[in-house]
Amino acid sequence: MMRHDLPTEAWIKSSYSGDTQGQCVELQVVPDGGVAVGDSKDRDRGAFVFPSAAWGVFVAGVKSDSGI
């Protein structure tokens, strides 16, 4: 689901983004427990919100493919 009403101060930038300003994928946990994923250089377009279970499956898949 796409959301446009997310607080601007709650975004978390990946530690892998380094010092790059304005060109990052960011996330935030929303009140219902889902995870919002957005583009730092275009926050006005909103963010995709994923249910927490789906986000957990995604993160587990990324970790298993990267050897973490």
DSSP state of 40: G
Does the predicted TM-score (pTM) go above 0.85?
no
Can you tell me whether residue 68 is helix, strand or coil?
Answer: coil
- For the stretch 40-66, pLDDT in tens is 888 778 899 999 999 999 989 988 976
d(CA 36, CA 17): 17
Token duo for residue 50: 């994923």
- For the stretch 10-40, pLDDT in tens is 888 877 776 656 668 889 999 888 999 988 8
d(CA 18, CA 20): 6
